[in-house]
Amino acid sequence: MTNALGAAILAALLGSIPFGLLLTRAAGMGDIRAIGSGNIGATNVLRTGSRKLAAATLLLDALKGTVAVLVARWLFGPEWAPLAALAAVLGHCFPPWLGFRGGKGVATALGVMLGLSWPVFVVSALFWLLAAKLSRISSVGALAAMAVAPLAALAFADGRTALALLAVAAIVFWRHHENIARLRAGTEPRIGAGK
């Protein structure tokens, strides 16, 4: 119980670091939540026009997920890695420091996949890149990657990992409810468009 709690709290704290907000603020761009979709993730940081900051946000948001899983596994035991993965994504989506209004969880979800099982990460990242490239819509890539992750975990990892990634996918889909509504209406912006 103590180990489970430790893994969850550590991962949630790491996940709650809002890199998109911190980087854009440090670059003197103001509050990213007042730009584009208002999201703190890499897709919205790209709407500031800075590819470098968007890439850094993507990388750091993913890395914090990987680190959360690896450190939790090391400190508390491998059985708690899937719980840490879920907690890191929850921390990103609901950071206490931002009034529990955080990001949509995509980069952090990919990061935790890398920490849990690299084949699951590779399959999911390939679906993400392919779907985003074909549709030219970031959220389509994200949702495709999340949908395939639990299935990839069943094939390449174990039941606990698959269950954690199913919960992660549910959170990410829920956080994309506005994107899904825009996709249905045909108004979701394409990558590179200002929104």
Separation of alpha carbons 56 and 12, rounded Å: 20
Token reading at 94? 């609901």
Q: Tell me the residue number closest to ligand G3P, measured at CB.
A: 37
> Does position 16 bind ligand G3P by CB under 6 A?
no
Residue from the set 10, 139, 148, 171 that interacts with ligand G3P by CB under 6 A: 139
Q: Which of 15, 18, 20, 41 binds ligand G3P (CB under 6 A)?
A: 41
Q: Read out DSSP for 141-176?
A: HHHHHHHHHHHHHHHHS-HHHHHHHHHHHHHHHHHT
Distance CA 109, CA 154 (A): 17
Token reading at 44: 């919205």
How near is the Cβ of 13 to ligand G3P at its closest, in Å?
A: 21
Stretch that binds ligand G3P, among 36-44, 72-80, 92-100, 122-130 (CB under 6 A): 36-44
**Judged by CB under 6 A, does residue 64 bind ligand G3P?**
no
Q: Which of 16, 24, 43, 66 is the binder for ligand G3P (CB under 6 A)?
A: 43
Name residues whose C-beta falls within 8 Å of residue 80's C-beta, 6 or more positions apart in sequence: 3, 4, 6, 7, 8, 72, 73
- Establish if 179 lies at the interface with ligand G3P (CB under 6 A): yes
| Min dist. Cβ of residue 156 to ligand G3P (A) | 24
Token pair 């174990």 in the structure block, residue = 158
Residue selected from 16, 37, 48, 117 as contacting ligand G3P according to rule CB under 6 A: 37
| Of 106, 145, 153, 157, the one binding ligand G3P by CB under 6 A | 106
